[in-house]
Structures are given as structure tokens and as C-alpha cells.
Structure 1
Amino acid sequence: MAIHVARRIWTTLEPIHDVVYFGAGIKEAGVEIGLRGFWQTYFAFRAAPLGAVTAGAVTATFAGFHPDMVGRALPDAWSRTSPSRCLEARSAAATRLLRASGARDEECARAVELLLPALRGADPTGRPLFAANAELSLGQDAVAALWQVATALREHRGDGHVAALVGAGVSGAHALVLQVAAGKVTEPVLRTARGWSAPEWAALVGDLTGSGLVTGEPSAPELTADGVALLERVEAVTDESAWRGALSRLSEEAVAELTAVLEPLVRAVRTSVVPANNPVGMGQ
């Protein structure tokens, strides 16, 4: 089966965005501006384009995180620093990490040029994380601009994925179980990274078992035929929504050039920065 063009673009842009989660020095970048630890840095950095939003708003838009986990980070983060300082710090950290992975100004500037029609022409309806990121200035640094464009379009897809899950009647928490059952990430990594206890996870698996979507033990659930079909529908809707909502502004030639221009950087990031078993589900 051919891979949807929107998914091919995602596999190019996602690793570039992900340096701000998995790269060395991210926690320290947050601590330097007053934040407390990695997870407060994660939530504050990612939510910063939205402003000083509440834990409830982040739980809803990020989808899948335990509300208590979010509540330990927000709104306390905003008493320690500001969204504007978070935006500056995350951009600087991402740029440093991409340059360390071999990002060069000429290639990054060309990639930004190729992606701008999708960024500027994208439909923001129901996509708050995309819309907030799309409003940010790209600045003059080509590497920083590439990270920001990749981030905005990545969040466009993510917002659409959440909508696809909601349309299929799947909560963010139950979607985590489906990802584990699909073999995209292991249970200990995803459950811990999203803040769910073992008993809570077992209950989520029990829900999906009762619905006929998964089978097996909580630590190693497997998709049933119905589970496979559901997940395939959600992913297909996500791909098509990302394409129609933004990426279709790119010509076939632009997509080919984009992937070729960024391939060395993406390969370096996936090899040296993004772990193979990660909660994003972006395997090596």
C-alpha cells in the first residue's frame, strides 16, 4: 500500500520538531528561565504560543496526558516565567540542537520556502495549536525558521488527529492504549510519559477489551481485527485532513525536493537525538 503523501511529509517534519523533546539540554533551557524540571519545561514550551493557558486547556489540546500530570506543571509555570520567554528559549534550544545535527542555512531556507504555501494557506479551523504557532514570527535565522514552520505544520496534523479520534469516539487516553497495541511504542514508555498509573492503565485496557478493540494483558495489549480497522480509519482521516487542510498546497515536485533537501538532517536527528522507543511513536 502506498504511503499517503501527508504521512511522508510528517515523517520528514516530525523529527525536526522533536529535538525540543529529546535533545540534550532542554530541561536546562527551561530551568535557566525559571521553570522546574523537564515536564514543566515540556508543557510550558509547547503551550507557550497559546499564552498563559490553564491546565484544563492544555489537557484538552495536547490529548492523552493525565490531568494531574498537567496540573503539576500549570499554572505554576506561569508564576515562574512568561510565555514569551518560553518561546525564545525553545527556539534557541531547537536551533542549537538542529545545528549540532548538521542543519545548514541554505538547505533550511529552501525548505522553509517550499513549506510556506502550506503554512500560509492552511485552514486553522479547530486547530488551536497550529493557529497559535502559525502566528509566530519566523525571524531571520533560517534554522530557527525551519523549526518553527515544521512545528506549526506538525501541530496542524496533531490537531487534526485529535479531531479524528474524537470523531471515532476514542479518548486521548484510550488512544495511547491503541498505539501500544499497534506496536508503535512500549507500554512502560508511553504510560509513564503520559502520567497514567498501572491500575489506571489496566482500566483503560479493560475498556477497550470490553469494546472488542484490544486483547491481552495491560502490559502488552494487542489489536483485534476491529481495533486494527478503527486505527486505520483514524490514521486515514488524519492523513487526508492534513493534506486537504494544508499540505495539498505543495506540488509533487515541491514534496520531492523538500524530502531530498532535509533527508540528511532528518537522518542525523533520528539517529542521534530521537530515541527509537519514544512516546511520539516515531520509530527508527
Structure 2
Amino acid sequence: MAIHPARQIWTTLEPLHDVVYFGAGVKEAGVAIGLRGYWQTYFAFRAAPLGAVTPATVQAAFAGFHPEMVRKALPEAWSRATPEQCLDVRLDLSTALLRGLGAGEAECARAVSLLAPVQDYADPTGRPLFAANAALPLPADPVAALWQLTTSLREHRGDGHVAALVTHGLTGRQAMVMQAAAGKASESVLRGARGVSEREWADAFDELRARGLVVGEPVSPSLTGSGAELLGRVEASTDDAAWNGALAVLSADSITELTQSLAPLADRVHDAIVPAANPLAMGKR
């Protein structure tokens, strides 16, 4: 089966963005400006383009995180560091990490020339995280600019994915159970990364089982035929929204050039930084 071009682009760009989550020194960079620990850094860095937003806003936009997990980080983080500080630090850190893994200025500049028009073309309707990131100035440094563009476009895809979940009647928590049932990530990794208790996970599993979407046990769920079909529709909707809402401006030749030229860097980032067990539900390219 042919891979949707939007998914090809996502699997190439996502690891480049992910240095801000998994790279060495992320927690330390947050602590250096006053933030408290990794998770406060995560929420403040990712939410910073939106401004000093409330926990409820982040819970809605990020999807899947336990409300209490978000409330432990926000709004306290904004009393420790401003969104502007977070934006500066996350960009400097991510740029340094990509450079340390061999990101070259020429290859990054070429990728920026291909992706900047995509960001300009992309539809922000219903995509708050994309819109907030796309409104940030594009850095003159080509490595920094590439990281910022990958961030905007992965949030564009993420916003569209959340819309697809809602359209297909799935909550963020139920979606995690579906991903575990599909073998994309383990129950323990997903629960831990999103602050979900065993009881809450089991409740989401029971809700899906009642709909005929999963079978087995909460710690080791499996998709039914109906569950696999529904998850396939969610993923197809996500790809279509990313394509029609932004990436379709790229020609076939541009997609080939972009994915092939960035593939070595994406692979190095994935191998060096992205944990084998991670909550992104995405394996190596």
C-alpha cells in the first residue's frame, strides 16, 4: 500500500522537532530560566507560542494529558519564566541539538525554502497550536528556521489529528488505548507519559470494549476488526487534513527532495535522541 505523502513528510520532520522533548539538556535548559523540572519545562516550552495560557487551554489543545498533570505545571510555570523566555530557550536548545547531530546550513536552507511556502499557505482554521507557532518570526539561521518550521507543521498535523479524534468519537485517553491496542506503544509508556492512572486507563478500555473496538485486557489490549477500521479512518483523516490544509502546495519532486535530503539527519536524530519506548506512536522511518 502506498504511503500517503503527508505521512512521508511527517515521519521525516517529526524527529527533527522532537529534539525539544528528548534531547540532552532539555530539563536543564528549563531549570536555568526558573522552571521546575522536566514536565513544567515541557508544558511551558510547547505552550509558549500561545502565551501564558491556562491549564484548561493546554489540556484541550494538547489532548490526552491528565488535567492534574497539566495543573501541576501551569500556571505556576508562567510565574517562573515568561513565554518569551521559553520561546528563546527552546529555539536555541533545539538548534544546538540539531547542529550537534550534523545539521548542515546548506541542507537546512534548502529545506526551509521548500517548507516556508507551506507554512504560508497552510490553513490555520481550528489549528491553534499551528497558528501560534506560524505567527512567530522565522529565524535567519537556517538550522533554527528549519526547527521552527518543523514545529509549526507538526503542530498543524497534531491539531488536525485532534479534530479527527473528535469527529470519530474518541477522547484523547481512548485514542491512547487504541494506539496501545495497535501495538504502537505500550500501556505503561502511554500512561506514564500522560499521567493516567491504571483505573482511568481501564475505564477508557471498558468504554472502547463496549463499542466493540478492543478486546483483551487493559494492560494488553488488541483491536477488533471494527477498531482497526476506525483507527485507520482516523489516521487517513489526519493525513488528508495535513495534506489538503497545507502540504498539497508541495510538488512531487519537492516531496522527494525534501524527504531524501533530510532523511540522514532524521535518522541520526531518531537513533541518538528518540527513546525506543516513546509515547509518539511512531517508529523509525
Scaled to the shorter chain, the TM-score interval is over 0.9
Aligned match of 2:69: 69
> In structure 2, the residue corresponding to 1:125 is in which secondary structure?
coil
Q: 2: distance between equivalents of 1:139 and 1:96? A: 14
Aligned match of 1:172: 172
Instruction: State, as a whole percentage, how many aligned pairs show the same letter.
Output: 64
Once the two structures are superposed, the pairs formed by residues 72-221 of structure 1 within 5 Å of their partners are 72-221=72-221
Q: 2: distance between equivalents of 1:173 and 1:260? A: 35
Instruction: List per-residue Cα deviations over 1:60-107 (Å, max 9, x = no partner).
Output: 000000000000000000010100000001001101111111101110
Q: How far apart are residue 199 of structure 1 and its match?
A: 1.1
Once the two structures are superposed, the pairs formed by residues 42-57 of structure 1 within 5 Å of their partners are 42-57=42-57
Q: 2: distance between equivalents of 1:124 and 1:140? A: 23
Report the TM-score when normalising by structure 1.
0.99
Q: 2: distance between equivalents of 1:71 and 1:177? A: 23
Q: How far apart are residue 138 of structure 1 and its match?
A: 1.4
Q: How far apart are residue 281 of structure 1 and its match?
A: 1.3
Tell me which amino acid in the other structure corresponds to 1:54: T
Q: 2: distance between equivalents of 1:219 and 1:234? A: 23
The alignment of Structure 1 onto Structure 2 pairs a total of residues equal to: 284
Task: Provide structure 2 residue ranges, at least 5 long, that are not aligned to the other structure.
Answer: none
Q: 1: distance between equivalents of 2:8 and 2:277? A: 20
Instruction: List per-residue Cα deviations over 1:171-202 (Å, max 9, x = no partner).
Output: 11111100111111111111110000111111
> In structure 2, the residue corresponding to 1:222 is in which secondary structure?
strand
Q: 1: distance between equivalents of 2:211 and 2:140? A: 51
Contact kept in structure 2, 1:276 and 1:282, CA below 8 Å: no
Q: 2: distance between equivalents of 1:230 and 1:279? A: 20
> In structure 2, the residue corresponding to 1:216 is in which secondary structure?
strand
Q: 1: distance between equivalents of 2:74 and 2:209? A: 33
Instruction: List per-residue Cα deviations over 1:19-76 (Å, max 9, x = no partner).
Output: 1111110000000010000000000000000000000000000000000000000000
Tell me which amino acid in the other structure corresponds to 2:191: R
Contact kept in structure 2, 1:277 and 1:283, CA below 8 Å: no
Tell me which amino acid in the other structure corresponds to 1:239: D
State the Cα RMSD in Å. Answer: 0.6
